[in-house]
């Protein structure tokens, strides 16, 4: 992480902590790190979230980020592997994990299903600590009170919430496989993420990610334009790379810059 990214990360974390303290935070809990009652609270709050829509009349512009990754595998195999990777509760994509309701964990996604994409701050802090920091502060990150605070910050400042808006994993012959979700309230952006698997030729297919977004605040717009979008692209590359690995396929090409591919 370079000095500019460190400043951005510290600024984001610092402002998040202040916001959490002022707002009271401590709501929702982390379903993968908390007791059953916290999970129930989290699921109830997830159900209450509303869909965010982009608005061209706002000062912050609506933008699109489109990338394609070509894989040496048939489209049906790649689409199935991508779905399997996305629903595997043990997987991470960089420092992102997907939290789902208890009844849905590890099961196929369903149209209308809600979920949370959580950027795990405790793991980010441990990863970016130099040896002397880990020696002094490593155990602090594991403290239940600190983990609870970090969880609250994750819920309110570093997570995306989504609802599956389109899911076509059994298309008619010649048509594409599609998974698309829209962002819900609590996310720092409005818009949608769409993944399209297309058959290029026998044994070769492409996965195209279409990300339409509009930041909800100027602070987040500054962060996203200064490095946040790169982190997003890293997650997409990680998701596709894990899907390819699952079926023993190779990534043949990608228009995601190499510097953006590894978290």
Residue 227 DSSP code: I
The dihedral sign for the CA sequence 8, 59, 195, 257:
negative
Q: Which residue has the higher pLDDT, 137 or 114?
A: 114
Mean pLDDT computed over every residue of the chain? 81
**Which residues lie closer than 8 Å to 150 by C-beta, 6 or more apart?**
121, 122, 125, 141
Q: Which residue has the higher pLDDT, 104 or 261?
A: 104
pTM of the model: 0.78
- Report the run of H or E that residue 65 belongs to, with start and end: strand 63-71
The 10s digit of each residue's pLDDT in 164-211 is 999 999 999 999 999 999 999 999 999 999 999 999 999 999 999 999
Tokens 């996604």 label which residue?
A: 109
The 10s digit of each residue's pLDDT in 215-234 is 999 998 998 898 889 989 99
CA distance 262 to 256: 11
Average of per-residue pLDDT across 11-27: 45
Query: Would you say residue 40 has pLDDT above 50?
Result: yes
* SS3 state at 67: strand
Query: Would you say residue 245 has pLDDT above 60?
Result: yes
CATH class of this structure's domain 3-260: alpha beta
pLDDT tier for residue 21 given thresholds of 50, 70 and 90: very low
Q: Domain ranges in the chain?
A: 3-260
The 10s digit of each residue's pLDDT in 119-177 is 754 444 445 544 544 444 445 445 555 455 555 555 555 688 999 999 999 999 999 99
Q: Give the CA-trace dihedral at 174, 175, 176, 181, to 10 degrees.
A: -170
């Amino acid at each position: 992480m370079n000095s500019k990214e460190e400043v951005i990360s510290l600024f984001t974390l610092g402002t998040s902590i202040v916001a959490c303290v002022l707002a009271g935070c401590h709501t929702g809990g982390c379903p993968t790190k908390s007791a059953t009652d916290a999970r129930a609270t989290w699921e109830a709050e997830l159900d209450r979230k509303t869909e965010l829509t982009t608005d061209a009349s706002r000062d912050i512009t609506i933008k699109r980020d489109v990338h394609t990754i070509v894989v040496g595998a048939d489209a049906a195999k790649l689409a199935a592997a991508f779905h399997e990777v996305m629903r595997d509760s043990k997987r991470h994509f960089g420092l992102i994990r997907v939290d789902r309701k208890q009844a849905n964990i590890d099961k196929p996604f369903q149209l209308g299903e809600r979920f949370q994409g959580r950027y795990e701050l405790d793991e980010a802090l441990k990863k970016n600590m130099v040896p002397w920091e880990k020696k002094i502060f490593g155990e602090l990150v594991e403290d239940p009170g600190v983990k609870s605070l970090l969880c609250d910050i994750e819920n309110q400042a570093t997570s995306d919430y989504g609802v599956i808006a389109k899911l076509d994993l059994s298309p008619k012959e010649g048509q594409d496989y599609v998974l698309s979700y829209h962002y819900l309230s609590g996310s720092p952006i409005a818009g949608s993420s769409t993944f399209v698997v297309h058959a290029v030729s026998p044994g070769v297919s492409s996965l195209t990610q279409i990300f339409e977004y509009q930041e909800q605040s100027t602070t987040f717009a500054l962060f996203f334009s200064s490095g946040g979008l790169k982190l997003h692209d890293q997650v997409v590359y990680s998701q596709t790379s894990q899907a390819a690995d699952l079926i023993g396929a190779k990534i043949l090409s990608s228009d995601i810059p190499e510097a953006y591919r590894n978290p």
